[in-house]
Structures are given as C-alpha cells and as structure tokens.
Amino acid sequence: MNLTADKPIAIPVPLRPGALPLARGFVTIVVSTLALLVVCALVTPSAIAPGALAGSLPFAAVLAIVGLAQMLVVQQGGFDLSVAGGVSLAVVIATHVPAGENAALPGAILMALGCALAAGVLNGILVGVLRLNAIVATIGMNALIYGGVFAVSGGVPRTTTSLLAAIAGGETFGIANAVWFALAILIVVCFVLKKTVIGRRFEAIGANPRAARAVGLRVRLHQTMAYVCAQILYCIAGLLIAGITREPTAFQGDPLLLPSVAVVVLGGTSLLGGRGFPISTAIAAFFLNQLSQFALAIGVPYSAQTIIQAFALGLGIAVYSLRRPRRVTKGAEPIKPFEKQPDTEENKNEAIVP
C-alpha cells in the first residue's frame, strides 16, 4: 500500500523431488573406514585377512546393534547407561536358565526379551514421563538390572548351549550369523525410521521436541519408546554374545558401554539429540572394531589401542562440533533485534543432557 511491489511475485515452479543428500557424517565415516582398510591392506594385510575378519566381525556386529540402540536414545536427547546391565542380563539368562539344555533355550530367550521389555518401559517412564535426568535414571536402572544378573547367575560364568552357539556363533553363506542379525536389525531400524509414520514422528521429535509439541505430536510417548527399543536391542546383542562366546561372564556388557556411545558420536549423531544416522553408526562400529584389529596387528599393546580410540573419538567429535552450528548458547550471542524471548522455563524442562 505504501509502495508499489518492488519485486514481481514469483511464479510457482514445482520443485523437483531431488535425490536424498548424503549426510556428511556418513561421508566422513565411510571415507575414514576406507582409508583404514587401505592402510590395513598396505601395512598389515593380516588384519584384513579373511580369518581375522571372521574372528572380529561378530564383535563388530554386536557393537553395531548396541550402538543402534544407544543411537535411538541419544536421538531423543537422552543417554542410556543401562547398556551394560541390559546386555549382561540377556547373556546370563541365555546361559544359566537353559543350563546347557537346548530345549529350554526358547523359553530363556522369551524370558530375556520380557525382562528387557520391562526394563525399557521402566526406563522410559522414569525419563520420558517422570522427567528424571536420563543419566541418573539409567545408572539406577543399570544397578537394578545387575541385581537381576546376580539373581540369575550368582556372578559366575556358564557354558553356553550348543543350540545358541550354532545360531549366534554359526555362519551362513560364509558370513557369521551375528553379522546377518546386525544387518537385519539395521534394515529394520532404517525402515521404521524412514518409512513409517511412527518412525518419521520419532525423528521429528528428536530433531526438535518443542516444534513437535507445537504441531501436536506425543513427545513423551515417543521418548519412552526409545528406551524400550534400546533395551530390546541390548537383549538381542546379549543373546548373540551368549552364542558367540563359549563361556560368557556375567559382566559381558560392561565393556560395551563407552564404545556404544563412541560409535553413535562417530556416526554423526549429536549428543544433544536430533537426527540419527543408523547406517553411519553401524559403519562406525566396524571402523572402531577394525581400528583395534589394526592396532593389534601392528603390535600395539592393548593399552595404546584405547588411546587410539580416544583420539578417533575426539577427532570425530571435533569434526562434527566444528561444522554444526552451536545449539547451546555460548560466547556473547547477539541479542536478536526483536524484543521477544523464547519461554525459557520450557527450555529448561526439555533439557535432559547436561
């Protein structure tokens, strides 16, 4: 009204669907993994010899499954420290309950899944509904689950059943079954996240819970679901370990806690929540595992391996945090020229990760 139109209104041009762009995290982890394989091939061919791979891949597969589980929780801005308990419980149930009897295995597996479901629901209620801090709630839950581990096992290892060893430790088409399991889970996770209504909503809520709430999505329900799914995946990982390892201990899950977080970070998922990258996470699990193999092959002692992992992790975080815009305000942020401020009370309620 004051002025004439200074720009012609654009004629609507329908946008082309366009290819799904590759996430940079994906490119980073794939390039790193390929580089590692090339280095292995040049320096220590033994580290990627079929025999070495066959030996180490099942463990990479387990790590991938646990990493995917942790990713689901991290995506929702959470953090799950009950990995160790979840995995260990499945391990001891699968070994102690059947006590070597193959016939008792299905029952044991059902029992393990039931326990996982219960633990997941409890975690979900504590974090999603009661709004407890995720770290504290899952530390507490982990202790409770370990109570269960001791109740079942008394803390002693037990030889696995031959059936489970055949299923989880066997090979199909020359590739370890554990890898097939991991692949199947990866496909399911990708499919659910990308193709189903639930998964799409889940991603949107993780990416911005406040925006999701503003369009009427059920934020707490989906956050609770993340913990339930995570426990189920821990349980599957535990069952696989019980089959792969001849005589698994009662603490088989402990060494998986930190790597589970590490692969999520290396896969490009932000610890502040947001979109999750399942394929990158799985590749990161392979990468981390292969890194250890490489270190072993060039004669680095166990000690230095974790230092290498720490550097890889630190580098990964640095790469991602440098290119990601700061979500948490630090530094003197310019105050916007508008005089409105977002409702900070709600911000505080949404913050889960310290």
Partner 1 sequence: MRSPAATMEHQTVKAGSAVPVASAPTLIRLRGISKSYAGVPALSDVSVTFQAGEVHAILGENGAGKSTLMNIIAGAQQPDAGEIEFAGRRVVSMTPETAAALGIAISYQHPAVLDDLSVMENLRVALPAHLFAGRPAREVAQEILQTMALDVPLQARGDTLTVAQKQLLEIAKALAIRPKVLILDEPTASLDQDSTDILFRRIREVVQSGTSVIYITHRMAELRQIAHRVTVLRDGRVQGSALVAEVTDQDLLGMIVGRTLGSTFPPKASPNVADVVLKVTELSGRRFHNVSFEVARGQILGVAGVAGNGQTELMRALAGLQPAAGTVVLNGRTLAPHDLRHRAAFMPSDRHTEGLAAGLSARENAAVASLQKFAFSGLVSRRREVAAVSAAFGALAVKAASIEAPVLSLSGGNQQKVVMARALLSEPELIVADEPTQGVDVGARAEIYRILREVSAKGTPVIVNSSDATELEGLCDKVIVLSRGHVVETLTGTDVVEARIVAAAVSAETHAAHSIPRAAPHSKWRHIVQTDNAPTLPLALVILALALFGYSKNPNYLSAFNLTNILTLSTALGFFALGQTIPLLLGGIDLSVGPLAGFLVVVASFFINEGQSTGAIVAGFVLMAVGALAAGTINGLLIRFANFTPIAATLAMYIAIQGCSFLLRDGPGGYINSDVVAAINAQIGPVPVAFFMLLAMAILGEVGLRRLRSGWRLRATGSDEDVARRIGVPVDRTIVLGYIGTALLTALGAVMLMAQIGVGDPRQGVNYTLSSITAVVLGGTSLRGGRGTFLGTVLGALLLTEVLNIVAFIGLSQTYQYVFQGALILLATVVYSTVRGRAAMQDE
Residue 330 in contact with partner 1, rule: CB under 8 A: yes
The Cβ of residue 249 has, within 10 Å, a number of other Cβ atoms equal to 18
Would you count residue 220 as binding partner 1 (CB under 8 A)?
Answer: no
Q: Which of 117, 207, 296, 297 binds partner 1 (CB under 8 A)?
A: 207
Choose the stretch contacting partner 1; rule: CB under 8 A; options: 62-70, 160-168, 235-243, 255-263: 255-263
Q: Could you give the string, one character per residue 4-23, with x where binding to partner 1 holds by CB under 8 A and - elsewhere? A: xxxx-xxxxxxxxxxxxx--
Q: Provide, rounded to whole angstroms, the least separation between the CB of residue 154 and partner 1.
A: 7
Q: How does DSSP assign 275-300, residue by residue? A: ---HHHHHHHHHHHHHHHHHHHHTT-
d(CA 273, CA 98): 40
Residues touching partner 1: how many (CB under 8 A)?
A: 110
With a CB cutoff of 8 Å and minimum separation 6, the contacts of 59 are 244, 289
Is position 299 an interface residue for partner 1 (rule: CB under 8 A)?
A: no
DSSP secondary structure code for residue 25 in this structure: H
β-strand partners of 172: 175
Which of 117, 133, 165, 296 lies at the binding interface for partner 1 (CB under 8 A)? 133
Amino acid 182 reads: A
Under the binding rule (CB under 8 A), the answer on residue 317 touching partner 1 is yes
Q: Which of 38, 155, 171, 247 binds partner 1 (CB under 8 A)?
A: 155
Residue closer to partner 1 (CB basis): 6 or 42: 6
For residues 110 and 262, is the Cβ–Cβ distance under 8 A?
no
Q: Give residue for tokens 């990713």.
A: 71
Q: Is 178 in the site for partner 1 (CB under 8 A)?
A: no
Question: For partner 1, which residue of 54, 135, 175, 221 counts as binding (CB under 8 A)?
Answer: 135
Greatest Cα pair distance, the chain, in angstroms, is 86
Among 126, 164, 263, 291, binds partner 1 (CB under 8 A): 126
SS (H, E, C) 153-182: HCCCCCCCCHHHHHHHHCEECCEEHHHHHH
Which of 104, 213, 296, 298 lies at the binding interface for partner 1 (CB under 8 A)? 213
